[in-house]
Structure 1
Amino acid sequence: MTSQIIATHSVGATVQTVLDRLFAKIRSEEYSLNTRLPSERALASEMGVARNTVREALDVLEDCNVIKRRPGSGSFVTYRSEDAPQQGDSSVAMETSPLDHLVVRGILEPEMVRLAVINMNPREVWELEQLMSKIEGVHTDVAAFVKCEEEIYRKIAEGTRNSLLASCYNLAIEASRVSLRITLLRRHLTPKRILEYQQRYNALFNAIASRDVERAVEFIKLHLLEEQKLFFRDN
């Protein structure tokens, strides 16, 4: 699988615990690529939960492309550990809470956008425009939308001409990508919400393309504020 892990619906606390434990075993390669997972009955017994709880956790993992169910054969790991970050970065990413992630974004993104407006060359602006067109073509696929978001933010980070800032932001992206707890927060990405985000990103691109530093920075601050509101509303 890619290292993208997206769940499109919320789960209960017990299911989340099972998810965390199973995913930790998969990431550590206790259950490596193509390994058949224990049966639902065995997992339920091992974790002291009901079989339907395990089944719901497996449903989410399959939605996230972490495992693949084969009728009559069982559930097999499709997560490729080599796609994961190096151990040091992985440790930081896995320990980052959703709130910590928002705080870091609030620190990095305004300055990142400011530098990108100043430093992006015409070719990079054109490439960013192509990514904006790509994300506008996504309407319901949450995983595809988040992947497009990553590409947009990476392109903006590259445009800063500050490799350290870009590296820091890549780690922030990794934190949002590898943590099931964080990606489960993406459940608010309904088709309506996706459309709203597309409109925001289009406004951001227009500000970058017109070299309007003040408007671009103000936009990203407002966008972050809206994401913070969603986070606190859901928590």
Structure 2
Amino acid sequence: MSSLPQSSQPSTPSKTGLGSTVQMVVDALSARLAAGEYPRGSRLPSERQLAASLQVARNTLREALDILEQRGLITRRAGAGSYVAEPEHWDNAVPVAAATGPLHLHVMRGIMEPEIARLAVLHMSSAGIEALARILDEMRATSDPAQFTRCEEDFQQKLAEGTCNPLLIACYNLVVKARRQRHRAAMLRRLTTPERMAYQRQVHAALLNALVGRDIAEATELVQQMLIEEQRLLMQEN
């Protein structure tokens, strides 16, 4: 079984929680959405295209997309980009996500993620495994805490999709929404040190290998190790 290493930083948020450039991007994209420039359910242009059209860095754009997602204006799908949300799908999800505390979230992840790993080993297609490999490549390529955290979430969402269980996927999407609440996302970025990123790259690579080898025991153990490590970090934070 894998023996993995142990694993703070963005600046303190302003009073509004947003920098002026991020706020400008949020306002610009919100206006485009309100004007119907991007129809409901449609896919937004790529991050590269949006960043170029708004003349901002991609990291700034991603922060703005995080805010739009928290406000229920867009949804983001692992490996598939950002989509204009159907508001009725968010009426219940947003308040539940906002009201979820760190302990609630960790308990739910402890219940769901090992079972997601087990089912993904049994049911995930080769195309799904290839998508996970691409996300892992992104994790290896970035040293930006916000982007790295997003890659982790994308990996877990894609893993959930590999269960081929629509209800489980929908439930886990709510877990991800709770994880992406602004205060919690900021905390995760603080905890995403170079040491933690190295640890997560290693454990995600091992998890991918377990999926390729269809090794249920190894996959579930690796997920449990990640959860234990995250619990340790959360206890340090508190």
The TM-score normalised by the length of structure 1 is 0.67
Relative to structure 1, the CA distance from residue 123 to residue 79 in structure 2 (aligned partners, 3 Å threshold; closer, same or farther) is closer
Q: Partners in 1 of 2:187 and 2:27 — Cα distance? A: 26
Q: 1:234 to 1:160 in 2, by over 3 A?
A: same
Partner of 1:33 in structure 2? 27
Report the 3-state secondary structure (helix = DSSP H, G, I; strand = E; otherwise coil) of the residue aligned with 1:65: helix
Structure 1's consecutive aligned runs of 4 or more residues displaced over 3 angstroms after TM superposition are 7-11, 62-67, 78-81
Answer yes or no: is the 8 Å Cα contact 2:149–2:192 preserved in 1.
no
Identity of aligned residues (%): 33
Q: Does 1:119 align with 2:123?
A: yes
Does 2:126 correspond to 1:132?
Answer: no
Q: Which secondary structure state, in structure 2, belongs to the residue aligned with residue 87 of structure 1?
A: coil
Q: Give yes or no for the alignment of 1:92 onto 2:96.
A: yes
CA separation of 1:8 and 1:63: change in aligned 2, threshold 3 A: farther
Q: Which runs of 5+ in 2 are unaligned?
A: 1-7, 19-25, 31-59, 76-84
RMSD after superposition: 2.9
Give 1:233's aligned residue: 236
Match of 1:101 among 97, 101, 105: 105
Counterpart-to-counterpart distance in 2, 1:199 and 1:208: 14
Change (3 A) 1:100 1:63: farther
Gaps of 5+ in 1: 1-6, 23-31, 36-61, 68-77
| Cα-to-partner distance string for 1:154-210 (whole Å, 9 max, x where unaligned) | 111011011111111111001111x22211221111122111111110111111110
Pairing of 1:37-48 with structure 2 (within 5 A) = none
CA offsets 1:130-161 (integer angstroms, 9 cap, x no match): 221221111x2112112211221111101101
Whole-angstrom distance in 2 between the partners of 1:91 and 1:125: 33
TM-aligned CA deviation for residue 64 of structure 1: 7.6
Q: Distance in 1 between matches of 2:166 and 2:101?
A: 25
How far does residue 232 in structure 1 lie from its aligned partner after superposition? 0.8
Structure 1 position 124, deviation (Å): 1.6
Choose 84-93 or 128-137, whichever is displaced more: 84-93
Q: Does residue 182 of structure 1 match 2:180?
A: no
1:47-196 matches, cutoff 5 A: 65-66=63-64, 79=68, 81=71, 82-83=73-74, 86-138=90-142, 140-177=143-180, 179-186=181-188, 187-196=190-199
Distance in 2 of aligned mates of 1:209 and 1:141: 28
Q: TM-score, normalised by structure 2?
A: 0.66
SS of the aligned residue for 1:33 comes to helix
How many pairs were matched up?
179
Q: Which has the larger radius of gyration?
A: 1
Task: Return 197-206 or 146-155, whichever deviates more.
Answer: 146-155
